[in-house]
Amino acid sequence: MENLDKSWDLVVIGGGITGAGVLREAVRRGYKTLLIEQKDFAWGTSSRSSKLVHGGLRYLKEGHFGLTRESVKERDRLIREAPGLVEPLEFRMPLYRNSKPGRWTMGVGLAVYDMISGKWNHRYLDQTSFSTLEPRVRKEGLAGGFVFSDAQVDDARLVLRLIFEAEAKGGVALNYTRCRELIRDTHGQVTGLVVEDVETGASERLQASCVVNATGAWAETLHACPEKNKHIRPLRGSHLVFRARDLPIETTVSFFNPKDGRALFAIPWEGAVLLGTTDLDHGETLSSEPRISEGEATYLVDAANSVFPRLGLSLEKAVSSFAGVRPVVSEGNVSADKESRDHAIWEDRGLVTVTGGKLTTFRVLALDTLKSCFGYLPEKKAQSGDNRLFEPMVKNQAQARISADGFRTLWGRYGSQAPGLLSDAGEKDLEVVPGTKTLWCEIRHGAGNEKVRHLDDLLLRRVRLGLLAPEGGMTCMERIKELCRDILPWDDERWQTEISAYDRLWKSRYSPFSFRIGV
């Protein structure tokens, strides 16, 4: 903290996908930019999403054509610019007789979807062809189904890559650092802020030409929405994670809950399968990590069994659960699943607040936010380099140590840090952590290079063992300690404290039965 520069063009509060996007775009334009996050990078919604980069097919149903068009274009851009991180994903959607939506409705929606993208990516299969393609779905009443395409991402790694590539170009990002106070002059103009390390209490007074409030569901704690009757509505989306052997599907199956007609999905991800998602008001405090409720868990399992009746899924077979809180700007007069996912921006004399939106369109949010900042910033600077968000993949001799697909994935997650990660790894560290697609050397790299303060930073966001491995990775804790002992500045007592704290957190927030823990 004491070495932090005291004067900035722009300070971004919030280390989720929106804040990371603003940081990246501001740095690319030459602005001296600082990002602060009161917890860990991607701690909130941005590590708890459905891991999809998608056009929002359901938004067509609600008439949000502009949002769908925007989302499709950003999805296609990310597929081009972030290979290994954002990858195309096939969806299979069974349709049943006497159930909505019907073939015609879905066909029109998918046709519009593809026309926006400029590619014809969907096709309809009759009952026999669809059953052959996806033999585990319920055959009773099956009319046929559609096959179409969207994309998948590791959401936390998307945030981290944006942040660390922005830092490589001159930006600065601090986790576990909060805004204690905004500083205004006698006219109410924001001139800076007081930032504080939440763990040490060290603080500094900083000057800033403009401050961006990108705190998501917390946005109104800094500035209430100026539009009458509009407020942030925190909506919780929860997921269950199953082993691939218990939910054996080749690619995503999107289906409709027969009880309420909501769209759900089962999606292969990192060697496991995600089942989600719910959409309901989050009535709990935002200061603690959200968790799945018993009702949500039952809802998801029952829905999955309705479409995969022969698999006999149960909550006991789940590996983990996770829940995120979406910040939706609402007038409060519609059901949760009909709320718009469009973003909102408002200004207050040097404080620019951005909230709402969706993961896929983070770049659009960032650019719109910067437009609102330009009036407060020094003279607008030319964008440096080309238009790409990410550093393009470069071949390296270290690539020979793993498969071409493996290197593509590592580059997607770590960008230009991938070759060094491979070069520094021992042969055993190039092996995969059982039950995941994570290499052991990724754990060591995250501990040594990615601002880890606590064990949950490492296991829930730098790598995803907390969601994928048995008991959140507790079964391989000795190997993790061995990999990180000479990197993290922790003695034996601190290690034990971190392990105990992580175990309690996982059981109370990420276990499939977390709702049974009274924490």
**Spatial CA neighbour of 160 closest among 57, 82, 267:** 82
> Using N-to-C axis directions, what is the helix angle for 155-168 and 17-28, rounded to 10°?
30
pLDDT by residue (tens digit) across 53-72? 987 776 666 666 777 888 88
Give Cα 283 to chain centroid, integer Å: 21
Domain boundaries, the chain: 7-46+156-230+340-373, 87-152+231-329, 424-516
> Radius of gyration over alpha carbons of the chain, in Å?
23
pLDDT for 112 equals 86
Conformation bin of residue 204: beta by default, left when phi > 0, alpha when psi is -120 to 50: beta
Specify the pairing of strand 318-330 against strand 203-213.
Answer: unpaired
Q: How far apart are CA 119 and CA 334, in angstroms?
A: 34
Give the CA-trace dihedral at 452, 512, 288, 331, to 10 degrees.
120
**Spatial CA neighbour of 51 closest among 203, 238, 274:** 274
Take residue 306 and report the two structure tokens written for it.
Answer: 């309705």
Q: How far apart are CA 17 and CA 282, in angstroms?
A: 20
pLDDT for 224 equals 84
Q: How far is CA 435 from CA 57, 336, 439, in A?
A: 32, 35, 11
Q: Which fold has domain 87-152+231-329?
A: D-Amino Acid Oxidase; Chain A, domain 2 (3.30.9)
pLDDT for 383 equals 60
Q: Please identify which residue in the block is written with the tokens 């007074």.
A: 205
Give Cα 516 to chain centroid, integer Å: 26
Q: Is the dihedral of CA 89, 90, 96, 102 positive or negative?
A: positive
DSSP-derived 3-state class of residue 247: coil
**Spatial CA neighbour of 276 closest among 258, 294, 303:** 303
Q: How far apart are CA 457 and CA 505, in angstroms?
A: 12
Q: How far apart are CA 443 and CA 466, in angstroms?
A: 12
Q: How far apart are CA 300 and CA 486, in angstroms?
A: 42
Type of residue numbered 50: S
Q: How far apart are CA 495 and CA 73, in angstroms?
A: 45
7-46+156-230+340-373 — its CATH code? 3.50.50.60
pTM for the model: 0.95
DSSP-derived 3-state class of residue 400: helix
Q: How far is CA 207 from CA 28, 79, 171, 211, 377, in A?
A: 21, 38, 16, 10, 12
Convert 17-36 into a string of H (helix), E (strand) and C (coil).
HHHHHHHHHHHHCCCCEEEE
Please give the angle made by the CA atoms of 75, 77 and 83, to the nearest 5 degrees. 95
According to DSSP, the residues that pair with 123 across neighbouring strands are 147
Take residue 406 and report the two structure tokens written for it.
Answer: 């493996």
Q: How far is CA 480 from CA 91, 133, 328, 500, in A?
A: 35, 40, 38, 14
Q: Please identify which residue in the block is written with the tokens 């009759």.
A: 126
Sites in the chain below the pLDDT cut of 50 = none
